[in-house]
Amino acid sequence: MDLVVPDAEGWIRQGEWADATLRGAEPPYWIQIWPAAVATARLLTRVGTLLGKRTLDLGCGLGVPGIAAARAGAAVTFADRQPEALAFAGWNAARQPSAAAASLHQIDWSREVVPGTFDLLLLSDVSYRPLHHHALKRHVAAVLDADGVVLHADPLRREATPFVNWLATEFATVCTQRRTHFLERTLEVRLCVATRSPAALAPWQRASGPLAARSDTDPASSSSEPTNS
C-alpha cells in the first residue's frame, strides 16, 4: 500500500496542536499510523474481495484500514472530526489501484452518528477511552446492516476490554491476537470480528487462521491512550 503521510513533528510545530494540547485538548493522534491500523489493514487484504461492501472507517485518522478495504473493492466512508485527517485519507484512497471513490464525512462521532447503513464497520484503536464506548455502541446499533460485520482492533488495552466484552454479549464474536511488526517495533494486536450472522464469520476465519473464542481476561496493558511502545 503506497501512502503519503504527514511529517508529524513538523506538522505539530507549525500548527496550534502543541498549545492546544497544553490547554487540555486531545493530541493529534490521527497524524500517526498505529499498529492496530496496520493489523486491521493486513487482515482486510487477506479476507478477499469486498466488492461493493459499504464500509465505514470510524475515527479513521489517516485511514489505513479504510484504504485497504477500498483496495479490496469496498465503497468506503471515512469519518473523523479532523478535516486534515480526512484530507489525507481521501487523497491516499484515491491513489490506490482500482479503488472506488471514497466518501469523507467530518463529524464528532463521540456526539453524533454517521448517517447511513454499512456492511462493515471498522473500529481501529478508537476504544482507548471508556467515555467513548457509549458512542461506539450507538454507532454499532445505528449503522450496522442486519448481516453486517464489526472489525475491532486494539493493542490489548485494558480500557478497551469492556467494549470487546460487550460485543461478545450482543453478537457472534471471535478474537485473535496478532503479533504486528511495524516501524521496527513488534506489538500484539487484538482483532475481534463480531456479527449478528454467525455464517458471516466464515471468510474472516479463513483469512485469520484459527480464531480464538473471545476471552474476558484483562490484558496486562493499562495504558489509557495510544502509544507506539
Residue 112 has pLDDT above 80, yes or no: yes
Total residue count of the chain as it appears in this document: 229
Mean pLDDT of the 177-195 span: 86
3-state secondary structure of 37: helix
73's enclosing H/E stretch is none
Residue 84 burial (CB < 10 Å; 0-12/13-18/19+)? middle
Q: How far does Cα 57 stand from its chain's mean position?
A: 6
User: Any idea where the domains of the chain sit in the sequence?
Assistant: 30-213
**Burial degree of 111 (CB within 10 A; 0-12, 13-18, 19+):** exposed
Q: What is the mean pLDDT of residues 47-60?
A: 94
CA distances from 93 to 2, 67, 195 (A): 10, 5, 26
Tell whether the model's pLDDT for residue 76 goes beyond 80. yes
Q: What is the mean pLDDT of residues 18-46?
A: 78
pLDDT-derived band at 224 (thresholds 50, 70, 90) equals very low
Better-predicted residue by pLDDT, 213 or 116: 116
pLDDT, one tens digit per residue, over 130-185 is 999 999 999 999 999 999 999 999 999 999 999 999 999 999 999 999 888 877 77
Percent of residues, the chain, with pLDDT higher than 90: 57
**Which own/partner pairs from 72-76 qualify as long-range (CB within 8 Å, at least 24 positions apart)?**
72/44, 72/45, 72/47, 72/48, 73/49, 73/98, 73/100, 74/50, 74/100, 74/120, 75/100, 75/102, 75/103, 76/100, 76/102, 76/103
Q: Which residue did the predictor score with more confidence, 224 or 23?
A: 23
Give the pLDDT confidence of 203-218 residue by residue, as tens digits: 888 787 654 433 333 3
How much is the mean pLDDT over the chain? 83
CATH 3.90.1530.10 fits 30-213, yes or no: no
Asked whether the beta carbons of 62 and 88 are under 8 A apart, the reply is: yes
| Residues near 37 by beta carbon (within 8 Å), at least 6 away in sequence | 61, 62, 64, 65, 124, 125, 153
Mean pLDDT of 107-113: 95
Q: Please, where are the H alpha helices in the chain?
A: 8-14, 17-22, 35-46, 64-71, 83-94, 133-143, 161-170, 202-208
- The answer to whether residue 108 scores a pLDDT higher than 90 is yes
Instruction: Give the span between the Cα atoms of 52 and 75, in whole angstroms.
Output: 6
C-alpha grid cell, residue 4: 503519503
Identify the pLDDT of residue 102.
92
Number of C-beta neighbours around residue 199 at 10 A: 9
Alpha carbon distance, N-terminus to C-terminus of the chain:
23
Q: Which pLDDT tens digit goes with each residue over 26-35?
A: 667 778 888 9
